[in-house]
Structure 1
Amino acid sequence: MDIKIFYHQTLMVDVGGILLDGGRYMAVCPETSGISLDNWSKWDISYKYMTKDSFLYKLNEFLYRHEFSDEARYSHDRYFEVILLFDSEQERLSFKNYVIEHWDEREEYLKQIFCPHIPQLEGYVKDTFKKDYENALILKLMLKKFRKN
């Protein structure tokens, strides 16, 4: 869905949004970025993220608080299980360098996560979807470790 914010007739913001949990929670679509492990232009690891100082995050939190319910809280928490939340853009850029230096530890992180059953869906490559999901959970663990260092 489109989220459009107007001031009178003037369109100020136009961002993507999604409805989760049967429409009980409306969220802003996160930013997408990626990491190239071998300095080529393609991304080896892609991820979704928001930064706490961004308009997208603040709008997302406004929508969450406006429609707060137990269902919205559950959906909000599940949504952010696979989205990286950075304190700032500088933290995000530093974290990308950290991931490049420590991605060889992926298998150790893989032992610490639980990936639910992902059914085969028409039009999707199950193994790619599973790898992206695993990578999101691994990046969340790496972000925790990055912040401790």
Structure 2
Amino acid sequence: MTKQIQKIKAFFRHFFTLNDTPNNIAGGAALGVFLGIVPGEGLATTLILATLLKLNKASATAGVIATNMWGTLVTLPLATFFGGYFFHIDPSQLSENFRATYQLGFRYFLSKTIFFDLALPLIVGFILSAGLVALVFYLFIYFLLKYKR
């Protein structure tokens, strides 16, 4: 019985360790930042993906907690810019349409007009802007760990 408890303790000690390569730590942080910015994703998704991709779970957790919800609000203008650019919609018009339809609730979210004209450009914009921010964080953390360690 005590051997099982020791194995469980060792598993959790290993699970949240920063004694890892700079690539895995930076990759975990970038994954956490990405999933923290993209609306609807959270800590559980981050831990599952970090485990599947064999990235550092502690840095992924720190990344998602640091950017959760606040990162979404900060990157909304960048998301409307990217979404508007790729779907040929004026970003200010996209923001105005979002504000106008936000109060309608989830029931109208899946309607054809709202989904294709508003939600899809914003989703693509959030994915692209979160990817850009995550790439910047990855490069920053990687070089910081690689050359300042």
Q: The TM-score by the shorter chain falls in which range?
A: 0.3 to 0.5
Task: Point out the structure with max Rg over C-alpha.
Answer: 2
Greater share of strand residues, 1 or 2?
Answer: 1
